[in-house]
Amino acid sequence: MTSESSKPSRLAIISIILPVVILLVWCIYVISFGVLTGSTTNTADNELMGLGLLFGGGSLAGIITVLLSLAGVIIGVMAIRKNDSRKNVAIAGLVINLLCLLPYVLFIALLVFSATGSSS
C-alpha cells in the first residue's frame, strides 16, 4: 500500500477547508461587531457604525457564505465523482457545505412561499 493512495484528493481537502473559511468570516464579523458596538458611550457615531456593520457586514458575510458554500458543494461533488477509494473527506466536505447553505435555502423558500401566499 502506497502512502499516495491513503491520502484524500485535493478537491476533497478544498471542500473541507471552505467551511472553515466560512466559520472564520463569521467569527471575524461577530468579534468586530461586538468590539465596535460594545463601548460604554452611546454616541450617534457609534450607533451609526453599529447599524452599518449590522446590515452591511451581515449581508456581506452572508454573500460570502453562500458563494463559498456553493463552491464547496460543487468541489465536493467533483471529488466524489473521481474514481478514488478515499471519498470520506469529500463526503464530509459536501455535507458540511450543504449544512452551511441550508439556512439561506430555507430563507429563500420562506420568502417564495410567503410571496405566493399573499398574492392570492
For residue 119, what pLDDT is reported? 60
Q: Structural domain boundaries of the chain? A: 10-118
How many whole angstroms from its chain centre is CA 91? 17
Long-range pairs for 17-23 at CB < 8 Å and ≥24 separation?
18/68, 18/69, 18/71, 18/72, 18/75, 18/93, 18/97, 19/68, 19/69, 19/72, 19/93, 19/96, 19/97, 19/100, 21/68, 22/64, 22/65, 22/68, 22/69, 22/100
Distance CA 61, CA 115 (A): 25
For residue 42, what pLDDT is reported? 67
For residue 19, what pLDDT is reported? 93
For residue 1, what pLDDT is reported? 46
C-alpha cell at 91: 463526503
For residue 120, what pLDDT is reported? 55
For the chain, 120 residues long, the average pLDDT of each consecutive 10-residue run is 66 92 92 74 70 82 93 92 82 93 91 78
Please answer whether residues 105 and 66 qualify as being in contact, where contact means their C-beta atoms are separated by less than 8 angstroms.
Answer: no
